[in-house]
Structure 1
């Protein structure tokens, strides 16, 4: 089995201050039959996660051509004092379908579907009620970010997080903590969604990623604010309806940032910034024992931010934020291949 991934492509796709937006964040990636689907938040606000934020969906063709296929948002309209934050898009594969879950103002959840590999999209359908089924009072809801999965049984699983945050004086924005992480799932191609297990005992569990293990279990990987500065992992034997175990992974150091996983023939891959304090050393690690242990296989960038990871056509792709000082300067697409001699 190969031991390392080497970079064969690195391209800046988005740069702050270009394309009519102040900056870009929250990348997601999903392979389809003849392209890569990319999704992100395009921000025209200095309010961080709040303000005028659009969601862009793009296709990257096999020849490298990049085209925008859909935009969710209203940020091109003159400001009128109301909040219009479109946030946390998550792409989910489903056979010949692709779904996208997103949110408005961190309080309403919507789903759109494509039947042609992301070229066109359906009208939005609200699914906020699925989040109300969790035994947790919340005023902030979000998916992922990153991507969801389709399991071997056909179940769709999307990681989510909920928060009961302090409301700002203007009454429009809310803190993202205290929070709890979990998942929603669908057994009918996204028509209905059920509330899955919440990870108990975590300090502000939130942005989560999930992968299916070789034996059909689900491995969840949670961001949290525990003092150990490690990722928390959880294992489910019933498709995310409950957790049979949860633990902190000593090998997965984390600066309290989003990280992403994907299942491959070479093992489960996990991408994050491998530092306890700063968003630096963007790294991919591999587990060949369903999350029990991890080895470094790809040093992607000396800096980083939020990444999303995918595999297609013999390559491992990472769509990620590149930090510049205290800001995200670029969104970068990197591709690597397994080095058979490493």
Structure 2
């Protein structure tokens, strides 16, 4: 792209039968197909109600896209929180998600007064997102009975150098109502899923994950500790089974919002991070580049200075980076937009 950044709209709220499109996720398959996921919210912007999981496919590096397809819809209920991961050994795309009754709102689920609860599900595709397996409920092994609220991702999971599939998640404890981040994992190519470790300190939830060149796994979390309006990070040396050294990253400011984090393949510990870089509002969607595993962030570029919220990152087959993010002019949820940019453009900032 020679130092360029190109942006295009993938979803526009109020079209194709959906009031709002939210919660983007993007991945690249082993064959080079780009898959973009989001929630299609039929009747309102609300986080609950009649919500479908949607996907679009691109065979040319994100330049053109298929029509959207419903991966999961459940007659008025909430199917959401996409967190896809690609198994590089088998080529299978795994898609963990969450579900709740459309009549159950988050506060009631947290209080334990809802009709149902949050459940954890997974499906998979062996043909680059054209078709999807029958959904499988993995709640029994992915969620503790004493947890109420639960979310997968949203964003993307990773495959560790060991072959383990790792999904960043979060939960709320019944009784204490404390927020924690955690991971679930599969060591058998997605056939079974189990709980990994949770963060040692609470007041964190939606999170993203990378593996560094030395094998350490870094979890980067949304932060509810308002004494410092910055992201929190924690590190695992055992593939996500335990976490330590939880701290704030003073550079990564946030207004309480989801973020995205990926590691460039074959480029050491070069990381790319995106979020609305603002301490007060969801706006100023910024991408940052680190060359040392997140110890410092030397380059930053603004994709959109106006209203913006959730995002997801990927590296496309030609080495170009992609950021799929919520963007608008009056509010953050008017579109889901794809930005494609190269390292030359990124390092000019």
CA gap of 1:19–1:47, structure 2 versus 1, over 3 A, is closer
CA gap of 1:47–1:59, structure 2 versus 1, over 3 A, is closer
Match of 2:342 in 1: 337
Match of 2:280 in 1: 277
CA deviation after TM superposition for structure 1 residue 6, in Å: 4.7
Structure 2 unaligned spans of 5+: 101-116
User: Within 2, Cα distance between the matches of 1:218 and 1:164?
Assistant: 24
SS of the equivalent of 2:300 reads strand
Match of 1:188 in 2: 188
Match of 1:58 in 2: 56
CA deviation after TM superposition for structure 1 residue 74, in Å: 3.4
Is 2:279 the partner of 1:268? no
User: Within 2, Cα distance between the matches of 1:164 and 1:202?
Assistant: 10
User: Within 2, Cα distance between the matches of 1:316 and 1:309?
Assistant: 7
User: Within 1, Cα distance between the matches of 2:141 and 2:263?
Assistant: 26
Match of 1:120 in 2: 131
Query: Which among 87, 103, 124 is matched to residue 80 of structure 2?
Result: 87
Is 2:166 the partner of 1:157? yes
CA deviation after TM superposition for structure 1 residue 183, in Å: 0.5
SS of the equivalent of 1:130 reads helix
User: Within 1, Cα distance between the matches of 2:258 and 2:252?
Assistant: 12
SS of the equivalent of 1:339 reads helix
TM-score (norm 2): 0.86
SS of the equivalent of 2:142 reads helix
SS of the equivalent of 2:28 reads strand
User: Within 1, Cα distance between the matches of 2:14 and 2:297?
Assistant: 38
Query: Which among 289, 296, 301 is matched to residue 298 of structure 1?
Result: 301
Match of 2:120 in 1: 109
Match of 1:250 in 2: 250
User: Within 2, Cα distance between the matches of 1:315 and 1:296?
Assistant: 16
Aligned alpha-carbon RMSD (Å)? 2.0
Match of 1:19 in 2: 16
User: Within 1, Cα distance between the matches of 2:285 and 2:235?
Assistant: 25
Match of 2:103 in 1: none
Deviations 1:83-138 (A, max 9, x none): 611110111110211100111116111111111121211111110012334xx721
User: Within 1, Cα distance between the matches of 2:21 and 2:283?
Assistant: 18
CA deviation after TM superposition for structure 1 residue 34, in Å: 2.9
Please identify which structure carries the higher strand content: 1
Query: Which among 289, 307, 313 is matched to residue 311 of structure 2?
Result: 307
User: Within 2, Cα distance between the matches of 1:208 and 1:117?
Assistant: 25
Match of 1:170 in 2: none
Is 2:147 the partner of 1:144? no
CA deviation after TM superposition for structure 1 residue 70, in Å: 3.8
Is 2:326 the partner of 1:321? yes
SS of the equivalent of 1:189 reads coil
8 Å Cα contact 1:58-1:70 kept in structure 2: no
User: Within 2, Cα distance between the matches of 1:302 and 1:293?
Assistant: 23
Match of 2:104 in 1: none
User: Within 2, Cα distance between the matches of 1:339 and 1:97?
Assistant: 32
User: Within 1, Cα distance between the matches of 2:71 and 2:197?
Assistant: 32
8 Å Cα contact 2:290-2:299 kept in structure 1: no
Number of residue-to-residue matches in the alignment: 318
CA gap of 1:325–1:245, structure 2 versus 1, over 3 A, is same
User: Within 2, Cα distance between the matches of 1:231 and 1:7?
Assistant: 28
> Which shows bigger deviation, 56-65 or 88-97?
56-65
